[in-house]
Chains A and B, each alone.
Chain A
Amino acid sequence: MSQSLRPILLFSAMAIALLAVGFGQGWSVMLVILNLCLISAVMSVGLNMQWGYAGLFNAGVMAFVAVGGMVAVLISEPPVRAGWEAGGLRIGIAGLLVAVFIGLIYAVRRFVSTKWIKNWGTAALLVAGYFIIRPVFEGGVTAVESIAAASAGNLGGLGLNILVSWGVAAVVCVGVAWVIGRIALGLRADYLAIATLGISEIVVAVAKNEEWMTRGVKNITSLKRAPVPRETNLQQAEWFQNLVSGVTGLDPTDADFKLRVIEFSSIFVKLCFTFLFAAVLAIVLFLAIRALNSPWGRMMRAIRDNDVAASAMGKNVVKRHREVFIVGAAILGVSGAMLTTLDGQFTPTGYQPLRYTFLIWVMVIVGGSGNNLGAVLGGFVIWFFWIEAEVAAQWLSVNVERLLLPYLDVVIINIGDVVLNVQDGVVWLKNAAPHFRYLLMGLVLLLALRFSPRGLIPEAGAARAH
């Protein structure tokens, strides 16, 4: 198959699969899958920059996704006045103090030349900073969290349009990635992996426990998601009712009409998201492809394929790695904010590493590391199978149960006090079914890595030593 035909064929197959879902399971289901496919594609383009362009193992994709989600909350939530009045000042002072101490540490490390003063000075400042800032901060936090704990108990956000947060998420992730990059780049590849894994655990712990910020496990529901309208508002709107009657040919007095309006409003809202996400994906993809084909991208691949030679040519490997790590992290942050926007809520307990880190890895590896189109395809394909595998597993377990119905009392295991019959087996199978797709994804990752390491759409002209 020629190189240029392959992506077209594969994307067409993907489109057909989505259309099949549309006809089979309904368009609403199809749009739900499509929207998450688009977000997954953005994530996988971001990770592909880090892994595909530069060979960096980021095991903390979840960290950036969660940071993106938190930023979405902090930008779009309306501020809680009572919370600000109660403890905003103290938390603000604590934040200022953090900045002051970071400045002091920077100054010590920059301007003191004696090594022991430098190191012990840094340590002393860290300890002093902790003990000075902590009481200020905690007083503020307690005050904020005691304000209307059932409905608020947090400071709220800036009350801006949630779209703003997509950009801000990128900026915040740049900061986080810069810090991680300073620490872990330039060492063994798996040190970066461990460091990012650690940061992702911590970010999620922060999201779960810092109630003054994100309400923690109390969750934030009903985020404002302008410019996309809400279903209930649409259903009331006259122009929308006219649209529905125009499309369906039904009269507003028909019995069926109300149901159709509800159905159409849900599809309309999802379509709005689809356009937004597709636009973001298009921009990100365009920039990513441009970057990959620029001198910068070629340099990056040269470093990846032979870092010794590249550094002999005068390239600063560590600095370039930091650059690409930061850019990838920014894209991951945007995708995280998009995800929270789509969900309309922020639930810290939902962030699971298998789902938000390692599934994205499967997408990149299966799609084609180093190829942006491949990463997009990987995002689509893997998300599609992720959803449909669950459906398949449910279907399978229901049918197995039906087949076994006449034999429920047959005993399978009978050793001593341990007696298990077929019914126990069926119960077990029902509980086990949701985990089936994890098994499937692990197998897909291993098989792709082994038999198709260059992915569905391989990198153009690459001679990668896998």
Chain B
Amino acid sequence: MVDLLNAIVLMLNFVIIPATSYGAQLALGALGVTLVYGILRFGNFAHGDTMAFGTMFTIFFTWLFQGLGLSLGVLPTALLALPFGIAVTALYAVSMDRVVYRHYRFKRSAPVILTIASVGVMFVTNSFVRFMIGTNEQRFSDGQKFIIKAREFKEWSGLSEGLKLKTTEALTIVVAGMAVAALFWFLQRTRMGKAMRAYSDNEDLALLSGINPERVVMVTWIITAALATLAGVLFGLDKSFKPFTYFQLLLPIFAAAILGGVGNPLGAIAGGFVVAFSEVMVTYPYKKFLKYMMPENLEPSGLMQLLTVDYKFAVSFIILVAVLLIKPTGLFSGKVIRA
């Protein structure tokens, strides 16, 4: 009985809690990608680096506030800086649309041209971030580190396994939940949100009903920038900020968006969690878990790890391949499959 409890705590500690918070971060990222897919109809390669951009500015504001002596007590100061980071990123995204993407939209270029343009934006954003903050790792989390500490949990419960809950993990789940609720409220209830959905469903019909496409696109970029910054800051608080890591997040984020069905916000969220859980579960060594669960003489000798952490990208990739082979429309049937 104690062994079973220990095994459950072990799973919670090393798989379920980390995967949930990572899943929420991916879901926010995938929401941004899927919105651009749905409204502007291209795969945005710059999304990972937009996340890095937003996070970088949030870090700058965090440093500034720390310098001024402002803080949120137990919560990280970055939360206070977040709105400012979002504002700068939104401004950046909208001006990138003005300078880069709008031209191709007016010319009605093929989606792949827009994707290549987004590669250019990625290049510029990526180098700008490296230019400003360098390539090193930055940790900007302050305030109280843990809500539940492993040692205290052990003392309280008498189990040999400790349970810890980082403030950033809880924060990720709460903030992501609030953001998603706000987004869905916006898409379902407001005039602008309805206009966006109409535009995504059928561009020409939406134009005929008097929806201003430029406004829809602008709002889309603002929301995308906000989601990207949010995802980036939460990821950075939880782990750390490193520009190249954010570029690499592109693959799991796209896998999540495609798995959920391109252009489908609900699917993007589901996709984010599926990808995160698969990644964590496949790369977790089950040795200790099986030790608790199996009779003593059957203990495994190896680490019982399906894949080493070095290959975590392979998990996203395998999910992606499986979706493309079995159901290219994704779980929730996104609409656009063929070019």
Contacts and interface: CB of A to CB of B under 8 A. Distances in A.
A108 B127 CA distance: 49
B317 A190 contact: no
A193 B324 contact: no
Interface in B110-124: 110-113, 115-117, 119-124
B64 A418 contact: yes
A438 B134 CA distance: 13
Q: How large is the interface on A (under 10, 10 to 19, 20 to 34, 35 or more residues)?
A: 35 or more
B115 A198 contact: no
A441 B45 contact: no
Nearest to B310: A209
B274 to A, nearest CB: 16
Nearest to B127: A438
A197 B248 CA distance: 10
B189 interface: no
B320 interface: yes
A191 B262 CA distance: 11
Query: Binding site of B, secondary structure by majority: helix, strand, loop or mixed?
Result: helix
Given A417-B66, A418-B64, A361 B311 contact: no
Interface in B33-69: 42-43, 45, 63-64, 66-69
Interface in A320-363: 353-354, 358, 361-362
A9 interface: no
Contacts of A184: 324
A252 interface: no
Interface stretch (A161-169, A260-268, A445-453, A455-463): A445-453
A59 B125 CA distance: 18
Contacts of B112: 55, 57, 189-190
Given A432-B134, A435-B127, A361 B119 contact: yes
Contacts of A130: 306
Contacts of A362: 123
A201 B247 CA distance: 11
B338 interface: yes
User: Most chain-A Cβ atoms within 10 A of its Cβ — which of B115, B116, B254, B311?
Assistant: B116
A431 interface: yes
Interface in A372-426: 415-418
A198 B130 contact: no
A57 B115 contact: yes
Contacts of B103: 450
B325 A361 contact: no
Interface of B: 42-43, 45, 63-64, 66-69, 100, 103, 107, 109-113, 115-117, 119-128, 130-132, 134, 247-248, 250-251, 254-255, 258, 262, 306, 308, 310-311, 313-314, 316-317, 320-321, 324-325, 328, 336-339
